[in-house]
Structure formats: structure tokens, C-alpha cells
Structure 1
Amino acid sequence: MDATDHFLQPMEQALRERFHVSRFAPRFIKAPVVGMSVNKLLFHLQFRRFLASHDVAFFEWAGSLLVQATHMPKRCRIVTRLHSMEVASAAHRVDWSQVDATIVVSEQMKQRLLLAAKAPPPYIQIINYGIDLSRFHFTQKPFRHRVGMIARVVPVKRVYEAVLVIYELRRRGYPFTLAVGGPLGDELEPRYPWAIRELIERLDLAKHVSLLGLISDPASLYAEIDVFLSNSFWEGQQNSLIEAMASGCYCLSHCWGGAEEVLPPEQIFITDSELQAKLVAYASLSEPEKAARQNRMRTLAETKFSVRDMERRVVQLIEKLRWSS
């Protein structure tokens, strides 16, 4: 893995129950003078040995490790799951002819990969991201105009624009509030959360817009909000959006590529004025009508985004490749 194992965790146990699984964990020498050159050689030797000792290597994230593996003599079957950022950062550097199977989360991501890759991967399979539905529960609650987001507060998530939407709605007399759960920015762009804090203060929204920071229990936030907002301009298949659906939150999304594979078209907007109109329209529904739409969200999550279905399809793919080795 080149990044977090957050996406692997839901299905790792299923893989371990079916296969003998080991993670690549290279060891290095702590030597300030010769360490860098020696460790580079050590890494290469350990990586080559690791690949040769397995029937199938599963690369969670199609990143730099996959790039290196595809430019070595091939020693085992290779499967990777590509998420989102690798399309821009690594897809053009991978020798896809060496990859036996590539998993993507949506048709949109498949098309992005085909555009980014120098030569198309020989086999691509779409497997929706899945969540553990038992962790999220739908309970009806009185509507209180509460909008929520769970996302790292970085420009791609368009939190700044969401604050302005709440401001405009309140100016028009609609008492919407916004709660944002997620780490505040990153080291590459620290100005963004600062600007949002300043905006909240300038617009006198401190009592109505909350930046909550990292949320250890997302289910608790979903239980407190009425509408989940996905306002990004780029996503893979937003995990928090699917969790919110499973929690029975009514969900609205900006038209990032692939949103139409998650939500019905009437819940996708282009402009901020369209978002305002959809929020006002939902608020005007009767409680039974709201409950029906919330139930629809839960049903959609159960139908398309179950971790059990994801596990089954990934295991089947690896099993097929293992026996063809």
C-alpha cells in the first residue's frame, strides 16, 4: 500500500479467511551516512523476494509500489484497486500490461484510467466500494434544517462554497446550519481552513457553522444531521456519502464525475443556486415524505454498496487469478 489502509480494512478479514495473506513490510538500516543507498538496495531485494513468494500480489492503491512492480521481471499475478488520486499521480507511469486485473469503483473512474494510462489495462472490473451496513442505522428524527459534511477541509471538497450557501439561505429566512467533520486542511494548503474560519467570523455564522475536526465516530454525526452534502469537484466514490445514505440521511451532491452512479439525478446539482433550491424543496416536504426519501437512501445503500458484496467479488477475482497462475 502507498497510502492509508482505510479502504482495505473492511475486506481484509474476508481475504485472510480465504487466503494466506501477508503484508509487505520492508526493514531498513538506520545509518545516516550510507543508509539511503543501502536501504534502496534492501528495499528492492525485499520487494522482489516478497512478490516471488506469493501467487497473487494485491496492490491497494495503484501508486508508486505498483509502478515499481510493473517495471520488474514479473514474479506473480498482480491485482490492484485504483481509487482516485492515482489517476493523476501514477497511472501514466504504470506498465499496465503487467497488471492482470485492475479494480475501479465506477464507470467514471474506468474512463479516467483509460485516458490517463499510456496503454489500456488488459482487464478492468468495476466493483463498487462497500461499507459495513450494520455500523449505520436509520432512525427517524424531527427535521431541524441541519446539513452535514464529512471530509478533509481542503479545496477539492468545496467547503468554502458550502458556507456561502448556508449564509445565503439564512439571509432568505431559512434556518439551515452546517456541521463539517474532518481534518482541517493539509500541509500543502494551510490557507484554506484559515480562510473558512475567517469567512464564518465575517458572516457572523459562528453559531450556525461548525468545523468539528477529525470525527472518530462518523455514525454519531450522521445521526444528528438531516441532509448530507457532497460538494466536491472530484471524488472516487465518496465513502462518507455512502455511509450517510446507509444512515438514512437525505443526500445531495454536486455533479462530480461519478455522482450519477451513486445518487438519483434529482439529488445532483450543478450550481449553488440549484443546491439552495433543492434544500428548500426538501425542507418543505411533509414528515412522511421526508421519511420515504430517507428510506430510499438506506435501500439504495443496501442494494449497491454492501461490504459483503464487495468482499465476495474481490475474493472471486483473486481466486480466479490464483488458479490461473
Structure 2
Amino acid sequence: MRPIKTVLLLQDLELGGTQRHALELARRLDPSRFETEIWTLMGGGDFLPRARQYGLAVRQLSLARAVGPGGLWGLWRGLSRFRPQVLMALTVVPNIWGRVLGRLSRVPVVVANCRGGDDLWRQHEALLKHLAHFHICNARALKQALMTRYRLPEGRIEVIPTGVDTEYFAPVAGTPVAPRTCVILCLARLAPIKDHETLIRAFEIVHREHPHARLRLVGDGELRERLAARLCASPAREAMELLPGVPDPRPHFAAADVVALSSENEGMPNVLLEAMAMGLPCVGTAVGGVPEVIRSGRTGFVVSKKEPEALAQALGELVANEELRRCFGEAGRRIAQAEHSLTSVAGRHADILERLVERKK
């Protein structure tokens, strides 16, 4: 039997959890079962070196700085020539145009993905839900939203939790830590949905009681200038820093003591799983799949969104208690290894795709 011709469609290969997920998935799909290519609708290649390192086939359908006619024409032409049996769309814009052009070009199996808390309305599920033959979500909360809000049948949705490479993301023994400091790390897009303002306000509360605490924000995005100005105006400005995103976040994890995420909405955040795999305790807001990742009181704390006082209390408890941080971090590492292995994630994707293709024969 010939391998199933499969395309993973992304907007770009810039820094992002979904982009990393796509590379790791493509890397682990058995080449005897799948002929896999990664296509992007625009330029942006932070992860291109890693894709080449993995030996993955990548097509940048356009090198433009935004998705436009060139990328869409490239997608149409590519589908017509490559004739994939499976088109799986990841990130918002590919979930729109991938479904439309995939159906028009008669791709046998079009799979939509819902990985972020705000993806459902941004990728127009109300209008496009039936253009996908199947939906894959990374959190139970997203599946529930598809069923209740958009009336999608349960049988057309599968939840596959986000995976993490627990060998690549692993605790670093003997990491030097500056004396009397405790670093809180937030590694996230600088976008409104991540609600950095609540985290900054919470940290200002923490810093008053724990002057040795430090806040490190790492990421890129539209709010960089605004957040930089906010940090400069803060009474805790000497204890906060804003750094650009990086393809390999492990050095930031290795230098951190706690990882925090104050999002207004989420799917199942890669950063929390990576932090757990690195043996770090996590604090996050009770949105999307975050409570499915953080076992509150066991691997970290989950608090209500947009409540800086509650977030500050959780962060302060960890900042003040090194033994608690160690216990939570060790428990998180065990859970990441047991429940989020990339081999398992890739295997579940492979089984679903093969089943869908078989149904179309």
C-alpha cells in the first residue's frame, strides 16, 4: 500500500506552539504510512532550520509577509498538482482557506484543528464547520464548545492533548541560580489574549512582599512597545524584563523557578507542558484546557482570569516556598512523561487519518 499523501497546512513557520507541534507531528508520522509535507501560506521561517534538521519536506507557497492572493493561488496550484489524500489545517487562516480550497479541489479528507481558545470564532466555525470532514482539538473544553455552541456531532470530533518531547525538554541538573532570587517566567505571544497586564499587576503585588522575585516576559507580538512602556512605568521596573522570543526556550526555562500564564482564553498551551517537562511548577488561569494541564495543588495553581490578587497569591506562595516548587515540578514532570508523549500523540493522529482515508475509498 502506498503511503497516504498528507499535507499539514500552516500560516507560517514563525515562532509558535502550533508550528512546533506541526514539526514534531510530521517528524513522527511513519514514512511507510504517510508521505507528509508541511505547507505555509506566507513567509516567515524561524523554524525552517529545525525542519531541515528533521529532514521534513516544506513548501512555502508564498514568501509574502501576510497571507494574500499569492499564497492562496499557491495553495490551489499545489493541491491540484500534489493531489493529497489528507489536508490538515493548523492555525486560524489555514483553517479558513484550507477548508474552502481543499473542498473545491476535491481533497478526499479535510481535517480542521482547534488549538486555541479564540480559534473557534476567528476561523468562522459557524460558517465552515461542515467543510471539514473531521475536527481535532487539543482540549476537552474546545470539543465541548464545538458540540454545544456550534452543534457539531460528537462523532466528528476527537480530543488529542498536546504532546511534548520530554527528552528535549528535561530538567537541567545543577543549573546555577542567582542567590536570593526567584524568577517567574512568562513565555507567550505579546497579544491581548495573553493578558500580560494582569500578570504585571500580580507581580507588582508579589514584589512588595518578596523583593527577591523577578518577572521575565519572553515573546514577540503587537503589544511589545506598549508592554515595554508599561514595565518602564512600574514601581517594580527594576525587577522586570521583556525579552524577544527564541526558537529554543530551554535556557529560559532552565533559568526560571516558576512559569506563569495569565491568558483570557487558551486551548492546551504548549508552554505549560514544556515547563512541566522541565520540572517547573506552573500557575495559569482557568480558561480552555489550562485546568486539564495544571493539576491545581499538585503541579501548580489554577486561578480565575483577570484577577491579579488571586494570581499574586498563587505566585507568592510558590516564590516563598522552595520545597513546594520542587514537589510541584517533580509531579509535573511525571505527568508530562506519562500523559503527553509525542509518540502517543503522533500515533493517535495516524490512526485517525488512516481511518478517515479508508472511509473515503
**Residue of structure 1 in register with 2:35 after alignment:** 20
Does residue 246 of structure 2 align to residue 215 of structure 1? yes
What is the identity percentage for the equivalent residue pairs of Structure 1 and Structure 2? 18
Structure 2 Cα separation of the partners of residues 98 and 195 of structure 1: 39
**Residue of structure 2 in register with 1:83 after alignment:** 115
**Residue of structure 2 in register with 1:148 after alignment:** 185
**Residue of structure 1 in register with 2:217 after alignment:** 180
Residue of 269, 274, 283 corresponding to 2:303: 269
Structure 2 stretches lacking a partner, 5+ long: 1-8, 14-18, 40-58, 63-67
**Residue of structure 1 in register with 2:25 after alignment:** 11
Amino acid at match of 1:218: P
Amino acid at match of 2:12: T
SS at structure 1 position matched to 2:136: strand
Structure 1 Cα separation of the partners of residues 212 and 263 of structure 2: 23
Structure 2 Cα separation of the partners of residues 48 and 201 of structure 1: 49
Provide TM-score, normalisation by structure 1: 0.83
Whether the 8 Å CA contact 2:218–2:244 is kept in 1: the answer is yes
Larger Rg: 1
Does residue 198 of structure 2 align to residue 198 of structure 1? no
Does residue 326 of structure 2 align to residue 291 of structure 1? yes
SS at structure 1 position matched to 2:326: helix
Identify the range of structure 1 (260-269 vs 14-23) with the bigger mean alpha-carbon deviation: 14-23
RCO comparison, higher one (Cα < 8 Å, 6+): 1
**Residue of structure 2 in register with 1:59 after alignment:** 89
Structure 1 Cα separation of the partners of residues 242 and 72 of structure 2: 45
Whether the 8 Å CA contact 1:234–1:256 is kept in 2: the answer is yes
1:126-154 per-residue CA deviation (whole Å, 9 max, x = no partner) reads 00111211111224766732100101122
Amino acid at match of 1:11: L
Task: Measure how far apart 1:66 and its partner are.
Answer: 2.9
Amino acid at match of 1:49: S
Structure 2 Cα separation of the partners of residues 260 and 64 of structure 1: 28
Structure 1 Cα separation of the partners of residues 186 and 206 of structure 2: 17
Amino acid at match of 1:89: R
CA RMSD of aligned residues (A): 3.0
Structure 1 stretches lacking a partner, 5+ long: 29-35, 187-191
Change (3 A) 1:3 1:193: same
Whether the 8 Å CA contact 1:150–1:180 is kept in 2: the answer is yes
Amino acid at match of 2:228: R
Whether the 8 Å CA contact 2:210–2:319 is kept in 1: the answer is no
Amino acid at match of 1:4: D
